């Protein structure tokens, strides 16, 4: 049983609830085996820590976009060989208000994680309220990542698809639709999915603790994605 302590400024109750559903985890207030926090200043020496929204040499960075149900399903199909070699990853992430650095880092990391390699070509373009990343990978694979902050309130849209050499997988937040808007606003997010990444992300963290892994590799993943985003400009899309 691994004893987990939480110190989060947002959504702490959701994280505690997710941890309570994990058989090998126990939520505690003191004498913890591991910490989950969003404050780098709270990382204790010698205690495995999952750090949300940042990176630190002494903590595992969180990758929430890797653990959404849609992403996990696509990754499972890829690992099972159903899709073959990744060819094209296309991701659209639209919502009113600024697109944050955290979202951009998460999206770039997702592409690098799916392809399992570093891009040998990088390009980005932007206009008012829009930013597009185009990453080219060895062997001809590519990722196109599109952010938009101009939709009206309630018109959120998130779409992820991966086309491989043997098959394709599609995931978006519109039932029975892919990049098609019906009459009215495009707010058709599937119920119950918004926070579904939390439990599998915590389970992955526990597995890393049990395996006595170092956070070095995960931090390198985060810093690589961060470097690509910063090269495109250290600003949020507004």
Shared domain for 24 and 85, answered yes or no, is: no
User: What would the mean pLDDT of 130-135 be, rounded to a whole number?
Assistant: 94
What is the model's pLDDT at position 188? 46
- Name the domain boundary from 140, 172, 204: 172
**Looking at the domain assignment, is residue 19 inside a domain?**
yes
pLDDT in tens, 28-67: 999 999 999 999 999 998 999 999 988 888 899 999 999 9
pLDDT category at 234 given cuts 50, 70, 90 is low
Do residues 73 and 138 share a domain?
yes
Instruction: Indicate whether 236 belongs to any domain.
Output: no
Structural domain that includes position 129: 65-172
CATH number for the domain spanning 53: value is 3.40.50.2300
User: Would you say 90 and 100 are in contact if contact means Cβ atoms under 8 Å apart?
Assistant: no
Same domain (yes/no): 86, 44: no
Residue 148: predicted pLDDT: 92
Q: For residue 10, is it within any domain?
A: yes
Interacting residues of 28 by C-beta distance below 8 A, sequence separation 6+: 3, 4, 5
Same domain, 54 and 131: no
The pLDDT tens digits for 139-154 are 999 999 999 998 877 6
Count of domains forming the chain: 2
Indicate whether 188 belongs to any domain: no
CATH number at residue 80: 3.30.360.10
Place of tokens 């470097």: 227
Asked whether the predicted pLDDT for residue 220 surpasses 90, the reply is yes
Is residue 125 one of the residues assigned to a domain?
A: yes
13 and 47 share one domain: yes
Q: Tell me, what DSSP letter sits at residue 189?
A: P
- pLDDT of 189 over the 70 cut: no
Nearest to 115, CA basis, from 91, 137, 93, 97: 137
Q: Which residue has the higher pLDDT, 172 or 179?
A: 172
Q: Quick one: pLDDT at residue 78?
A: 95
**155, 185 contact by CB (below 8 A):** yes
């Amino acid at each position: 049983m691994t004893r987990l302590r939480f110190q989060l400024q947002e959504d702490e109750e959701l994280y505690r609830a997710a941890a309570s559903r994990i058989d090998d985890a126990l939520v505690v207030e003191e004498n913890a085996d591991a910490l989950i926090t969003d404050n780098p200043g709270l990382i204790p020496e010698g205690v495995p820590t999952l750090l949300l929204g940042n990176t630190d040499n002494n903590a595992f960075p969180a990758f929430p976009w890797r653990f959404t149900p849609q992403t996990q399903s696509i990754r499972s199909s890829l690992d099972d060989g159903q899709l073959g070699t990744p060819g094209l990853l296309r991701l659209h992430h639209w919502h009113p208000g600024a697109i944050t650095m955290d979202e951009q880092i998460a999206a770039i990391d997702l592409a690098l994680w799916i392809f399992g390699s570093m891009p040998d070509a990088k390009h980005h373009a932007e206009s008012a309220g829009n930013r597009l990343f185009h990453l080219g990978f060895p062997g001809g694979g590519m990722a196109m990542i599109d952010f938009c902050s101009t939709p009206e309130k309630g018109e959120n849209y998130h779409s992820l698809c991966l086309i491989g050499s043997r098959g394709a997988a599609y995931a978006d937040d519109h039932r029975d639709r892919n990049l098609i808007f019906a009459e009215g606003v495009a707010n058709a997010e599937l119920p119950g999915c918004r926070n579904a990444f939390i439990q599998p992300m915590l389970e992955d963290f526990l597995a890393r603790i049990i395996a006595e892994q170092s956070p070095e590799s995960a931090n390198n993943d985060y810093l690589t994605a961060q470097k690509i985003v910063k090269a495109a400009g250290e600003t949020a899309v507004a």
